[in-house]
Amino acid sequence: MGYTLAAYRSHYVLYHHHHLSTCYFFSLNCGFCTRFSSTVERRKSDSFELREEIEKRIRHCCEKETDGWLEEAASLFKGLLLHSTLNPSLYTCNFLLESLSRAGQPELTLSLYKTMAEYGISPDFNVMHKLVVCFCQIQRTQFALGVVGLIQKLGYHLNVILLTVVMKGLCKEGRVARAMELFHSMENNKFSANVVTYNTLINGLCKTNCVEEALDLFKEMGERGTQPSIVTYSTLIDGLSREGRAQEALALFEGMFHNGINPNIVTYSTLINMLCKLNNVDNALALFKEIGKRGCRPNVITYNTLIDGLRKVGRIREAMALLEEMYQNGLKPDVFTYNILIDGLCKANKVEGGLELWEEMWKRQCCPDIVTYNTLIDGLCKDERLEEAMALLKEVYHYGLNPNAVTYGVLVDGLCKKGFCGINKVDDALKLFQFMLEGSSIPEPFAHMSSTNKSSSNGCAEPNKVTYNILINRLCKTGRVDDAKELLNKMAEKGIVPGLVTYNTMLDGFCKVHKMDEAMELHHEMIDKGLKPDSQTYAILIDGFCKKGKIETANNLLHDMQIHGHIPNQVVYTALIDAACRCDFEQAMHLFHEMMEGGCKPDVISFNVLINASSTVGNLQASKQLLKDMTERGLIPDLGTYAVVICMLSQAGQMNEAKGLLEITIAMVILQMLSYMLQC
């Protein structure tokens, strides 16, 4: 019989016309196609022999259990289905589906199952069981439920194990309510749930923040006589811990011992993590010491959790001691361990210690990641060691790591601040920022940062909103508002939406250089973009217009501020009072009383502004009353304030009062000098 089967990745297509069969087997390998054909008069016996040969080939391919061979088997099988006289045997169907499922080919299994269903072929129970498992693993529970329905239709009996598998699949997909429906349906059909079933549902409920329902299920377990396992307790403790319900989690932990269940390291790690998040590090340490006594051994995750907890509360020395303990116990710290400690050291202004730990990482064959470098670069920048920070950035490139927005953000921030020798580095920051935007060659003076100095299209990170805000803030503080506005426009071009922080920074910049028209344009722009001005927005604008002497505009803004539900603060009132003092002292005093009636407490600056104004208009009585109110409120007048009032008293011939205030002033000076000497 003249036919040949293709060797590798064959695709079988069989066309049947009348009594003649032409077999085409295409072997798709190395880009060429080999055609095998035979045209013969087929009898039923010939068709049977052909089917047997192809099925033998399918089983042979399945036994190889590699991707290419399994794909060939599936293709040959589909070819059999296409031919009306070559229906595959049920044994081959089962064998192929089982092989695909076992080999971890869920998508191919699903595809083949759909094809078989179209041709009305049903696998046997054992294979269908494996299909349910397979479909649940790839989160295709709708097909798993379909197979369950087919099992029932064919008269097979379902079991708890199979239904639990489906429940687990539903929970993984977040369909916990559907899993609970299946659970209740199972109970109604006289199936007894086992501990695995309960654990599956409790885990699903806890993962979807339904801890109360999980606790109810836990209670039901006890009522039905199902003994909880370590998994049950650990899952519930984790769920309670995530919600910060420490007392309940610890009570459940104690309940484990009463039921004769010893906690494992997962249980301990969960509780330690919870206590650390609540800043209850001492109790976490006490629990950590218990681990060894209970026959458990802490792992790297346990140590990392506790080290991080100590870092967060500033107990870096104890955290470092735990690192030494890890070495002694034969545990290998990972990159997370080192990153936590380096961050803690840098935040405690111990950058040198962070650098030493970084060197220790290399010695212990633990490769730093971009988080390690970002932390060290940030620490060096804050310590004004910019050249060393740049040298570290060079290493980032050297080791093939990709700098991200955080890397550049900390560098831009560091360059913007005054470095050593008092040199302002804003222009350097702008160059670095431009490099980020363009993804081009590193500009001078940053060319030394990359050994190759080639395009960074593969590694240059896009600046994020934080990076823009840092640079815009620094430019505004140095009066370069036009450059800052240009960056604001670039944000929009890059699809980054500026927030209130960005706009308020820009508004403050324009107001500081008295560009009030530009400030109002920006104010209208932010409203047009759907951003609602906050109290700070109004405070910035009111202060700016008051300093410009445009009191009417400032008052209009105050009215607008109050209409929109914002309560004026000290900054707003002080700005308005200061502006009013220049032309209308009575209006200034009216604003001052309005301020206090509105529950806004005046500060030293508010009083100083009014006392100086009262001196200018020669209102001694107002000055004396303001000074009295000030001291009664617990505010300490400065030397300038006393000097103004003493001068007014002297001019009015009230020498005794002037002398009394002078003595207070001298006493203040002496106290300040003594305080300064003690600090030295």
Provide the pLDDT for residue 494.
80
Q: Higher model confidence: residue 306 or residue 58?
A: 306
Provide the pLDDT for residue 426.
65
Please provide residue 636's backbone torsions phi and psi, each rounded to the nearest 5 degrees.
Answer: -100, 115
What are the tens digits of pLDDT across the range 111-122?
A: 777 777 777 777
Provide the pLDDT for residue 251.
94
Helix (H, G, I), strand (E, B) or coil at 208: coil
Provide the pLDDT for residue 86.
60
Helix (H, G, I), strand (E, B) or coil at 3: coil
Helix (H, G, I), strand (E, B) or coil at 26: strand
Residues 6+ apart with CB under 8 A from 178: 170
In angstroms, the Cα distances linking 449 to 25, 163, 413, 434 are 59, 60, 17, 15
- How many of the other CB atoms lie within 10 Å of CB of 566? 19
Neighbour-count burial of 428, counting CB atoms closer than 10 A to its CB (0-12 exposed, 13-18 middle, 19+ buried): buried
DSSP tag of 19: T
What confidence tier does 434 reach under pLDDT thresholds 50, 70, 90? low
What are the tens digits of pLDDT across the range 310-368?
A: 999 999 999 999 999 999 999 999 999 999 999 999 999 999 999 999 999 999 999 99
Provide the pLDDT for residue 580.
84
The residue-averaged pLDDT of 187-199 equals 87
Provide the pLDDT for residue 617.
81
Rounded-to-integer distance, Cα 219 and Cα 623, Å: 73
Asked if residue 87 has pLDDT above 80, the reply is: no
Rounded-to-integer distance, Cα 214 and Cα 235, Å: 9
The residue-averaged pLDDT of 233-243 equals 93
Provide the pLDDT for residue 27.
33
Asked if residue 222 has pLDDT above 50, the reply is: yes
Least confident piece of the model among 221-230, 249-258, 490-499:
490-499
Q: What kind and span of H or E run contains 434?
A: helix 426-438
What are the tens digits of pLDDT across the range 70-81?
A: 777 777 777 777
527: nearest Cα among 507, 513, 510? 507
The overall average pLDDT reported for the chain is 80
Which parts of 294-331 fold into alpha helices (H)?
Answer: 300-312, 316-328
Rounded-to-integer distance, Cα 576 and Cα 545, Å: 9
What confidence tier does 456 reach under pLDDT thresholds 50, 70, 90? very low
Asked if residue 453 has pLDDT above 50, the reply is: no
Residues 6+ apart with CB under 8 A from 124: 90, 94
Written as six digits, the tokens of 151 are 């099992």
Please provide residue 25's backbone torsions phi and psi, each rounded to the nearest 5 degrees.
Answer: -120, 120
What are the tens digits of pLDDT across the range 578-608?
A: 888 888 888 888 888 888 888 888 888 888 8
Q: Higher model confidence: residue 397 or residue 40?
A: 397
Highest mean pLDDT: which range of 132-136, 315-319, 460-464: 315-319
What are the tens digits of pLDDT across the range 405-418?
A: 788 788 877 877 65
Provide the pLDDT for residue 48.
65
Asked if residue 522 has pLDDT above 90, the reply is: yes
In angstroms, the Cα distances linking 34 to 6, 25, 82, 291, 622 are 8, 8, 21, 67, 108
What confidence tier does 525 reach under pLDDT thresholds 50, 70, 90? very high
What confidence tier does 660 reach under pLDDT thresholds 50, 70, 90? confident
Provide the pLDDT for residue 561.
92
Asked if residue 298 has pLDDT above 60, the reply is: yes
Provide the pLDDT for residue 33.
29
DSSP tag of 36: E
Query: Whole-model pTM?
Result: 0.62
The residue-averaged pLDDT of 501-516 equals 93
Query: What's the chain's Rg over C-alpha atoms?
Result: 39
Rounded-to-integer distance, Cα 260 and Cα 488, Å: 64
C-alpha count within 13 angstroms, C-beta hemisphere, residue 305:
25
Provide the pLDDT for residue 309.
96
Neighbour-count burial of 432, counting CB atoms closer than 10 A to its CB (0-12 exposed, 13-18 middle, 19+ buried): buried
Please provide residue 333's backbone torsions phi and psi, each rounded to the nearest 5 degrees.
Answer: -60, 145
What are the tens digits of pLDDT across the range 136-150?
A: 887 888 888 888 888
Written as six digits, the tokens of 197 are 């079933």
Helix (H, G, I), strand (E, B) or coil at 430: helix
Contacts 24+ apart (CB under 8 A), 656-663: 657/624
Q: By the 8 A CB rule, do 134 and 104 touch?
A: no
Q: Higher model confidence: residue 28 or residue 96?
A: 96
